[in-house]
Amino acid sequence: MQVTQIKATDLTPMPWKNGGGVTREVAVWPTGAGLEDFVWRISLAEVAQSGPFSRFEGIDRVLVLVEGQGMELADAEGSPTLLQSPGDALRFPGEASITSTLHHGTTHDFNLMWRRSLVKGDVTICESSQLLDLLPGTHLLHAIHDSMDIHVPGHGAWLLAAGDSLLIETSQPQRGTLTKNDSGFLIHAHIRAS
């Protein structure tokens, strides 16, 4: 097992693929991969205005609202989904024509993207202290608004400040413990072989 802490203060802003916003890459595989050749990518996006999302052929996505007062996402058929509260999430194909409409100003979002022909991904929201089942693959635990204690078998305790992440690579099933210090929630992304 390999465990790496990623500090929020180390993340560098970069423009969206379509130039319509700003994103901060949290982790990517392979290391150093760009927007056209990643196998999976996790990022934090700032959406400051309504408009179209970047399109990614062959990619599946999960977007989680982490801050802001509401964003509506609609596909080309006009089917809207309202992400209103932090923790609200939407899964959609990267090649879909998605347009966002902001209802009350800027939002901040957590994004997991993966190349569907190579890997699978999913996201869960942890809102209480609990055991975490770490199945084989790559896990990223991201703290929102609050500090979190994460206990990883054989690797001790890790304190995540708000905005920090813990990247865990494991080939064997493990069980960790999440201890919440206050309100807020933790995002758990898991990427595994298809």
CATH class of 11-117: mainly beta
Say which CATH topology domain 120-193 has.
Jelly Rolls (2.60.120)
Distances (CA, A) of 158 to 11, 35, 138, 146: 19, 30, 17, 14
pLDDT tens for each residue of the chain, 194 residues long: 999 999 999 999 988 777 777 899 999 999 999 989 999 999 999 998 899 888 999 999 999 999 988 899 999 887 799 999 989 999 999 999 999 999 888 999 999 999 999 999 999 998 878 888 899 999 999 998 778 888 888 898 999 998 999 999 999 998 888 876 666 789 999 999 98
Contact 80, 99 (CB under 8 A): no
Strands, DSSP E only, in 21-76? 22-29, 40-47, 51-52, 59-67, 71-74
The boundaries of every CATH 2.60.120.10 domain in the chain are: 11-117, 120-193
Distances (CA, A) of 56 to 8, 92, 107, 169: 25, 11, 21, 25
Would the pTM of this model clear 0.85, i.e. be above it? Answer: yes
Q: Quote the CA–CA distance of 165 and 113 in Å, as a whole number.
A: 16
